[in-house]
Amino acid sequence: MRLDEKKRVADELARQVQDHGTIYLTDFTGLNVKAITEFRSRLREQGLGFRVVKNTLMRRALEGLELPDLTDHLEGPTALVFSESDPVAPAKVVKDFAREHDDRPVIKIGVVDRREVAPEQIREMADLPSRERLLGSIAGGLTASVGGIAGALNALLRDITHMIGEVAKQKEAA
């Protein structure tokens, strides 16, 4: 690859890294072309990106970016998994795929919101419920709270109405 081509690829990589809030560096050793194609397909279904990179070009791409130092993790075969915002979706796809393919690919390191995330933390994220399920739980909790408040207010109004009725009966009797 010529020098100008290397610079173009490094600049393109830098833009991709800069534009995505979540990046996982993975080692895909042991996966054949068919498996990698299947992995790409699963990522694409979730709106995620995948790119095999040369470590030297990735080092160039990271120069000048305000990211943690990832150079120690740029050894051996490296592929990037990208997500614009959701760090859980790519973690789930990688974990599920690895479960079916002898624990491959392996996550080397992650960057979420410009902070380094250890592989153990990424595995923990993969065990979280989906974003939709979490939002549903929050909405359910809010609805239940509002329903509880409405029920309490309704009971209070019923009690006040009952008391007013009793007072009115007592005044009529007197």
At 132 the pLDDT is 79
At 167 the pLDDT is 84
Shared domain check, 36 and 24:
yes
At 53 the pLDDT is 96
DSSP label of 105: S
CA distance readout (Å), 145 to 41, 109, 136, 138, 141? 41, 40, 14, 11, 6
Structural domain boundaries, residue 83: 3-128
Q: Is 101 exposed, middle or buried (0-12, 13-18, 19+ CB in 10 A)?
A: middle
At 134 the pLDDT is 80
Shared domain check, 23 and 11:
yes
Shared domain check, 112 and 65:
yes
CA distance readout (Å), 108 to 4, 45, 122? 29, 23, 10
At 158 the pLDDT is 87
At 32 the pLDDT is 95
At 105 the pLDDT is 97
Shared domain check, 143 and 157:
yes
At 143 the pLDDT is 83
Specify the number of domains making up the chain: 2
At 159 the pLDDT is 84
Write out residues in the chain with pLDDT < 50, as ranges: none
Shared domain check, 120 and 142:
no
At 41 the pLDDT is 97
Find the CATH number of the domain harbouring 105. 3.30.70.1730
At 80 the pLDDT is 97
Shared domain check, 7 and 29:
yes
Shared domain check, 164 and 78:
no
